[in-house]
Structure 1
Amino acid sequence: MKRGLKEKLQWVNGQDDTTPLAQIGDITLNKSSLHSLTANKLPDNNARYVDCLAIDAGIYINRPPEGEFDIRDGKKIFVESTINVQKLVADIENHTIARSSKIDKSLSIARIIAYLDHDMIFLPLNAGLHWYLAALDAPKREVQILNSAPGVGPTDELDHALEAITAWFQQAEERIKQLPNPTKWPDFNVATWDQKTIKGLPTQKDGSSCGLYLIKYIMLWTRSKLSKTFSKKDIDMYRRQLAHDILNSDRNLLRKNQQPDQTKAIPDDEVSTKKIRRSRTSTSSRTTQ
């Protein structure tokens, strides 16, 4: 383990449980949120389970800059957060769409309409304690399921998320008619789209790494294949690297806003984010040659 990374993990493990260590958008992470990524020699149980805050932070730091699109295989990708997907599921389970406040309704409709600027919508879903990815491919009218433990899930949460998206599109019907440009989506009834489980993906060998596989699927899925394969060893390394990337991200507001007397709060790192990304790009190029 490189010295900068090791020091960063030791720094996290030495903090108290309540101090905010990272602020990524609306996501605040403390030691407990990062514990499954930074602690040494945790048993293969819930202690190693990556929670939704760390997953959403991992999603957020990999999003393109505002105003730009994540384009893969010529298609625009929109990656939802776990929190928004959980809200979609709850909208159906709790029958809250019809009873939504004007503010909640307006926000939900605006988000659904934003989907229409994209060709694929990635939904991180949770079945009990298991994370997996559902990728909505609008041109194909297809829901692609990427699951690191094929014997676990999906359960009702996938159908409920699709039902909620369909219902919100119905709520947005008048707004959609007023859009200046017609959408390329063939229809909005995503609950009826074909569901396809993707075969041949890297799968987990333990009971606690599903969240890391989920993020890797989100980063690498190109509509028909992974842009780069990965192994269990890569996942074990990424568990540590993710904490480093969150803390060192330019989008970590707590890092940006450090005062002069707090410069030692996060130790200096020999490996910059740019170098890490350059290394990944180089590795990817060698793999595909």
Structure 2
Amino acid sequence: MVRSLNPLQTAAMEKIGSGGLLAMPEININRVICIWLADRYDVKSQTILIQDKSLPITLWDVQCILDIPAEGPVISKLPPLITEDYKIYSRYKDGESKNISLISLQETILEESKQSEINEEDFIRRMMFFTIGYILCPTTKAHVSSSYLPLLRDVTKIHTINWASLTREHLCDCLKEFKGGLKNIEGNLPLLQCWYWEHVKAVNSEFCNINYNGRQIPLISFWNAANVRLRNKYDCRTAEGGGGIEEAPFIVTGDEATETDDNNKTIAERLRGQFGRTVKPSYQTQSDFIFYKHNKKTFEPKIQISNSGSANLGLTLKDKITINYILQSEKTKVLASIQDIELSRAHLLPLVIEAYTELINDNQQGHTRQYGSALIEKETQVQVWCAVGKTRGKPSKRYIESRSTFAQRYMVHDMVFLPINRDKSHWYVIVINARCQEIQILDSMQMQPQWYNASEDIKNLINGVAKYIDYTVKERPVPTSWTDTNVAKWPLCPKSVPQQKDSWSCGLNALKFMETWDGKELTSDFLNMEPNEVFRLKVAANLINTTLNIVLAVHDDIRRLHSENSSTSEVTMKL
């Protein structure tokens, strides 16, 4: 049908931000793959388990795959119908069935495509009804539910609606119903299938030689009949998901060292990295995307970063020298030791959050934030609290006393920041805020409130902390400003924070949140911080150059290199 639309109809779809849907090729749904994915769907976390990794279907995924609007409030519940909606309904319903029939919509759209003029408002509504019923929120029924009428009430505002969230929420609901026993799997199956193909890529396989370079959004347009045949052949040979996962790389990588996260850029511009190719987040660039292992030679491009470059904004000469030093060091060489946390090049990525929290605590020592004092906890201790919250029975007296020392530290602060690494793939922050008496959630990839309420990690974490707060109050009290110590009863409150535009910066955002959250909002310091592609470099440099680092030999090397290059205007960084 799309190929039959005339230029006026095509322009109308582009006008409302849905032009990407017109690039969808004809895709045969592989129901074996879709059912295989649905069986691995976890209802509570809204993630799909693939190769021991729990991967969410994010709004960023939907935006990249379908190129539909993904901004604005998440649509978890449709608005109620009003009198005006019923009037609209009567204009588009089928005379015989008294429903908004998909066949009737299609026939009318095709008939209008032959005309030299169109009623733009009517066409947009019909096309969006058809899109909802056929692509975004399909069911086994041959008509579109009238419950979607409020979304199409004002045609001039259709482009402001978060259509990505609508199709994602509907797909998750359908996967939930399928897990609950529904025989037929419903929802946006082209999205689900393409999401799988994009997250689990067959790279350099003897069965599948798909070239992923040079692509643009919508990514679904890449999956034409030829590429789908290749991919299906591969999936049949590998039993829908065999293969291994590449190790996550060092914190500074070649492809993303100069990548920008400029909010003013279009999605396509953000996806296209240096050399003009499309950069799709992957495990090779620190994200949720999975690549099968392959025997590909490592390519190390030399990248020059001069003092005037935009990617160099905020980097001092010492920072650049330090990054070079890190990159040229052996993987096992200890570069920093901070509060018994040893950092080598190989371990810098997984341990960077742990070590950087110590820097934040050190920098804010003696300073109080606007709504109270703050303590940043280590992620390893967060894991302990989760284990404690899950465990039943009473531990030994010695263990209780050792854990209660942590609770005592908490109770002399107004806020306690607890970084969580969900399934080793996404960082976010829990804040125990004693002044507000609430459990605040700072997440750069915010989920629905019900997801946090159902999260076993959060439940176990809060229960673990609550156990030892309760013990401390009863057995080892300390002077505190806390007026309510029943932490387990405090409400969960997801806070509005900037949302990431990529699949790799969650850890950096978590660090920024912990450094600039004042108890009620992010301070202006957050806006003044370096963009993430620079901040990630500064994090590495700061960890090495901090006075908390007791590896003195590394400090000596950096000072020597800094002295030797103090008159240099350019530093070549081999990333």
TM-score, reference length from structure 1: 0.76
Find out whether 1:169 has 2:462 as its counterpart: no
Q: What is the match of residue 206 of structure 1? A: 502
Aligned 1:68-107 pairs, distance under 5 A:
68-95=365-392, 98-100=394-396, 102=398, 104-107=399-402
% same residue: 23
Of 323, 334, 337 in structure 2, the residue corresponding to residue 23 of structure 1 is 337
Instruction: Name the CA distance, whole Å, in 1 between partners of 2:413 and 2:367.
Output: 9
Of 547, 551, 557 in structure 2, the residue corresponding to residue 264 of structure 1 is 557
Instruction: Name the CA distance, whole Å, in 2 between partners of 1:238 and 1:221.
Output: 17
Instruction: Name the CA distance, whole Å, in 2 between partners of 1:120 and 1:59.
Output: 14
Of 320, 324, 347 in structure 2, the residue corresponding to residue 10 of structure 1 is 324
Instruction: Name the CA distance, whole Å, in 2 between partners of 1:118 and 1:57.
Output: 21
Instruction: Name the CA distance, whole Å, in 1 between partners of 2:542 and 2:529.
Output: 19
For residue 113 of structure 1, what is the amino acid of its counterpart? Q
Cα deviation code 1:173-199 (max 9, x no counterpart): 44334x4x4x32122221110111111
Q: Cα distance 1:208–1:231, how it changes in 2: closer, same or farther (>3 A)?
A: farther
Cα deviation code 1:229-275 (max 9, x no counterpart): 349971111000100000000100103xx39xx833665448xxxxx
Find out whether 1:135 has 2:435 as its counterpart: no
Find out whether 1:253 has 2:537 as its counterpart: no
Q: What is the match of residue 159 of structure 1? A: 459
Q: CA deviation at 1:65?
A: 6.7
Q: What is the match of residue 112 of structure 1? A: 407
C-alpha contact (below 8 Å) 2:354/2:378 kept by paired residues: yes
Q: What is the match of residue 276 of structure 1? A: none
C-alpha contact (below 8 Å) 1:22/1:246 kept by paired residues: yes
Instruction: Name the CA distance, whole Å, in 1 between partners of 2:317 and 2:363.
Output: 30
What number of residue pairs does the alignment pair up? 243
Query: Helix, strand or coil for the counterpart of 1:21?
Result: strand
Instruction: Name the CA distance, whole Å, in 2 between partners of 1:149 and 1:232.
Output: 19
Instruction: Name the CA distance, whole Å, in 2 between partners of 1:142 and 1:32.
Output: 38
Query: Helix, strand or coil for the counterpart of 1:72?
Result: coil
CA RMSD of aligned residues (A): 2.6
Q: What is the match of residue 45 of structure 1? A: none
Find out whether 1:63 has 2:361 as its counterpart: yes
Cα deviation code 1:140-192 (max 9, x no counterpart): 21111110011386432111111011111233244334x4x4x3212222111
Find out whether 1:221 has 2:517 as its counterpart: yes
Q: Cα distance 1:195–1:269, how it changes in 2: closer, same or farther (>3 A)?
A: farther
Q: What is the match of residue 54 of structure 1? A: 352
C-alpha contact (below 8 Å) 1:70/1:78 kept by paired residues: no
Q: Which has the larger radius of gyration?
A: 2
Instruction: Name the CA distance, whole Å, in 2 between partners of 1:119 and 1:264.
Output: 40
Segments of structure 1 that go 5 or more residues without pairing to the other structure are 35-49, 271-289
TM-score, reference length from structure 2: 0.40
C-alpha contact (below 8 Å) 2:371/2:519 kept by paired residues: no
Q: Cα distance 1:8–1:65, how it changes in 2: closer, same or farther (>3 A)?
A: closer
C-alpha contact (below 8 Å) 1:204/1:232 kept by paired residues: no
Q: Cα distance 1:111–1:250, how it changes in 2: closer, same or farther (>3 A)?
A: same
Query: Helix, strand or coil for the counterpart of 2:416?
Result: strand
Instruction: Name the CA distance, whole Å, in 2 between partners of 1:65 and 1:218.
Output: 12
C-alpha contact (below 8 Å) 1:125/1:134 kept by paired residues: yes
Segments of structure 2 that go 5 or more residues without pairing to the other structure are 1-311, 564-575
Query: Helix, strand or coil for the counterpart of 1:62?
Result: helix
Q: Cα distance 1:127–1:22, how it changes in 2: closer, same or farther (>3 A)?
A: same
Instruction: Name the CA distance, whole Å, in 2 between partners of 1:136 and 1:82.
Output: 15
C-alpha contact (below 8 Å) 1:11/1:266 kept by paired residues: no
Q: What is the match of residue 150 of structure 1? A: 446
Aligned 1:177-196 pairs, distance under 5 A:
177=477, 179=478, 181=479, 183-196=480-493
Cα deviation code 1:38-89 (max 9, x no counterpart): xxxxxxxxxxxx42x21121111121379x4441014111111111111101
C-alpha contact (below 8 Å) 1:63/1:70 kept by paired residues: no
Q: CA deviation at 1:101?
A: 6.3
C-alpha contact (below 8 Å) 2:361/2:375 kept by paired residues: no
